[in-house]
Structure 1
Amino acid sequence: MTTLSPAVPRVLVDPERWPDVAQVPPGVRARTAAAVTRGLFRRAVDRLAVRVVLPDGTAIGGARAEPGAPTMQLHDLRAFLRRVGSTGLIGFGESYLAGEWDSDDLAELIAAFATGVDALVPAPMKRMRSSYLARQPRADRPSPENSRSNVERHYDLSNEMFALFLDPTMTYSSALLADPAEDLATAQHRKIDRMLDQAGVREGTRLLEIGTGWGELALRAAARGALVDSVTLSQEQLEWARAKVERAGHADRVDIALRDYREVSGTYDAVVSVEMIEAVGLDYLDEYFAVLNRSLAPGGRAVVQAITMPHRRALETKDGYTWIHKYIFPGGALPSTDMLTESAAASGLRCTDDLAMGDSYAATLDRWASTFGTRTDDLERLGFDEVFRRMWTFYLRYSEGGFRAGYLDVHQLTYQQAAA
């Protein structure tokens, strides 16, 4: 593998807004890390079904002779190796943000990397990684003091920005698709309706929703005649959801409050929570399920839609700090189904139904990313620069690749109180 001089920057980066994207790691340590990474990267990609094209046109990788293979086009090898050598996967993502590499099919490329994730880093280095990779900042831990700011940094970016790529229901979680070509709003309603059915929501049901989103589930429950209390930590979502409920004429049935889930009081016939558990943090899973249990009236049901990862990987990455943490979801963590089962049982809840729907999430993310990619002019009008656009493209396709590879999954889980 040839080391080349730095390429001409392909993305204009504002150093004040994106300091770690603007600066390639300097110094002896970065040069040494790059030298080690060069050989590791070559050996790793040669085991994977990918094609990596170096700046001089040389192709490497296990599928280098296959034109249809997912391709990584490296524009600045020196910068890429320094970033990955210095900060691992954070550097991998920052290198993409800086325009130092591209891909013709980013999701498939990520899926190939995710499928061979265990081959990418040798076992001795895995054991050492906690000593050289960054750890989650204390200020990002999803404690009661930090959760509000964590949520704001993602969900309060701009309602208008989210509206550019979400379907008209403004539902920011996996749809449940019956067909890959199905209208996304229809598939989102199927997902919501299944959760409400599982929870037994009907006329007169007292329903607690933990995590409001932009209000579609609360609205759909109110249309069934339920009385809904919904809590969120996003001011932007709160305002949007309240206005949505008001326009639909259901303000008398839906109360939306800016409140941490730990502050919820009252007793309900049903509790629902859609992809909010990822913001809870693994250290707080027991507390989260305890809130679900104490909020349920006898005989009530809770339905949780949760993104998960394999148990071993969840344990290995428990205390890590990733690109997703740094740029997308501060304080977030994906549990395993084993962790969910254990925490639910500790609170007195048992799982009575489990629907895995990872394929639907891969398709949902593909729709979002494809739409997002067509909205460059609108994003510029809203003040989002090219680094931000590449960041969200990487995030959406990175997530899609995880679901395509089976590295990630999403479950609708129904819980009832265990018999005394």
Structure 2
Amino acid sequence: METTQYDREEHIFTAFLDPYMKFSSGLFSSHETSFENSVIEMLDFLLDSAQISNGARVLEIGTGWGCLIKRLKERFPHATYTGVSPSAAQITYVREHVDQQAPIHVCAFELAEVQGPFDAIFLSGTFCHLQDKFLQLERIFNLLAEGGRLIIEDSFFRSRQAMEVLRECSARGEVQTAMFGWAELMPLSSLLDISESIGFHLVSCRDFTDDYERTGKEWIRRLAKSALSYPAKKDMLFYLRLANNGWHRNAYCYALTFERPRRVDMPSVLELVNKEA
């Protein structure tokens, strides 16, 4: 198996990430927001979007370097957390620096034997890595409690046309796969179609493209100034610059909140029509 960014040693990421080690967008609420605070604001936004409270049952698909569980434990120490990650390097980091008892399934979500129900499920930068997205979203729907929320923070193609053009760019695809692992971005409209057919209710959708672009520029600045040695520094700088160049041109970043509706015993439209007749 080829090494991707998820398998690289932590020192590469500590060279440019924030103390929470979040490898996706921050939230810059103003021009004065610092890089470090933007990460905390984004994590709080995600947790608040899921309506997390103490005692909540949380599943994270793709733990990364532990940013979500770290913030979750700070704000809601009595919430229960389950993670899924195929990266041994990241799981080791989480257990050494965040929570040594963190229950994490060491495999891809497609292979994880996870038992619900959960009050909230998070995919932060990991939805694009799911194989057979319809099947996995259907599974996620069934893992949620009624009224439970799914939070997806990820990149999406600007349009179907942009998707087709970029898929034909083999050089870009090779760079992405080498650094990022297998991923399949889709237009936002495709996700909305799939989620609607499964039965999800869309609660909110927020555009974070500008925030992610600003985050990427901060990563590049910090990495360029770091003492990280070559070739790791050169390779990561190339990837970050390539990725950050695509915002608005090819892709947008969105954070979406979906809900599994509660069952409501109501007559169907046909029944109401027949009753009125």
Instruction: State if a TM-score over 0.5 links the two structures.
Output: yes
Q: Determine the structure 2 residue equivalent to 1:100.
A: none
Q: Which amino acid in structure 2 is aligned with residue 415 of structure 1?
A: F
Aligned AA (1:310)? R
Q: Are 2:141 and 1:288 aligned?
A: no
Counterpart Cα distance in 2 of 1:190 and 1:406 = 26
Q: What secondary structure does 2:234 align onto?
A: helix
Distance 2:124 2:218 in 1: 19
Bigger Cα displacement from structure 2, 234-243 vs 284-293: 284-293
Give the whole-Å Cα distance in 1 for the aligned partners of 2:56 and 2:262: 22
The equivalent residue for 1:408 is 251
Once the two structures are TM-superposed, the CA of residue 317 in structure 1 deviates from its matched residue by: 3.9
Cross-structure match for 1:229? 82
Q: Distance in 1 between matches of 2:246 and 2:4?
A: 23
Q: Distance in 2 between matches of 1:345 and 1:314?
A: 21
Aligned-partner Cα distance in 2 for 1:306–1:407:
14
| Aligned-partner Cα distance in 2 for 1:258–1:361 | 28
C-alpha displacement of 1:213:
0.9
Indicate if the aligned counterparts of 1:355 and 1:413 stay in contact, CA closer than 8 A. Answer: yes
Distance 1:359 1:158 in 2: 29
In structure 1, give the amino acid aligned to 2:116: G
Indicate if the aligned counterparts of 1:177 and 1:187 stay in contact, CA closer than 8 A: yes
| Aligned with residue 117 of structure 2, among 252, 255, 267 | 267
Residues 212 and 230, structure 1, Cα contact 8 Å, conserved in 2: yes
Q: Distance in 2 between matches of 1:153 and 1:315?
A: 24
1:17 corresponds in structure 2 to none
Q: What are structure 2's unaligned runs of at least 5 residues?
A: 264-277
- Give the whole-Å Cα distance in 2 for the aligned partners of 1:259 and 1:348: 27
User: Does the CA-based 8 Å contact 1:324-1:330 persist in structure 2?
Assistant: no
Q: Give runs of aligned pairs for residues 261-410 of structure 1, distance below 5 A.
A: 261-262=109-110, 263=112, 264-281=114-131, 284-312=132-160, 313-318=162-167, 321=170, 322-375=173-226, 378-380=227-229, 384-385=230-231, 388-403=232-247, 405-410=248-253
Q: Would the aligned equivalents of 2:120 and 2:148 in 1 still touch at CA under 8 Å?
A: yes
The within-5 A match list for 1:133-282 is: 149=1, 153-223=4-74, 224=76, 225-246=78-99, 251=101, 254-262=102-110, 263=112, 264-281=114-131
Deviations 1:52-79 (A, max 9, x none): xxxxxxxxxxxxxxxxxxxxxxxxxxxx
Q: Per-residue CA shift, 1:151-205, capped at 9, x if unaligned? A: x522111111111111111111100111344222211111111111111111100
Paired with 2:165 and 2:81, the residues of 1 have a C-alpha distance of 38
**Alpha-carbon distance, 1:397 to partner:** 1.6
Secondary structure in structure 2 of the residue aligned to 1:265: coil
% identical aligned pairs: 23
Counterparts of residues 5-16 of structure 1 (less than 5 Å): none
- CA distance, structure 2, for counterparts of residue 353 and residue 306 of structure 1: 14
Q: In the alignment, is the contact (CA less than 8 A) between 1:261 and 1:291 conserved in 2?
A: no
Secondary structure (helix, strand or coil) at the match of 1:195 reads helix
Q: Which of the pair has the greater relative contact order for Cα pairs under 8 Å at 6+ separation?
A: 2
User: Conserved in 2, the CA contact under 8 Å of 1:318 and 1:333?
Assistant: no
C-alpha distance 406-320 of structure 1, shift in aligned 2 (>3 A): closer
SS at match of 2:246: helix
Check conservation: 2:59, 2:83, Cα contact below 8 A: yes
In structure 1, distance between residues paired with 2:260 and 2:163: 26
Give the residue type in structure 1 aligned to 2:244: E
The 2-side partners of 1:368 and 1:296 are apart by: 34
2:103 alignment partner, SS class: strand
CA distance in 2, matches of 1:319, 1:268: 39
d(CA) in 1 for partners of 2:45, 2:92 = 26
The question of whether the paired residues in 1 share the 8 Å contact of 2:146 and 2:261 is answered with no
How many residues end up aligned between the 2 structures?
256
Q: Cα–Cα, structure 1 residues 392 and 246, in superposed 2: closer, same or farther, change >3 Å?
A: closer
TM-score (norm 2): 0.85
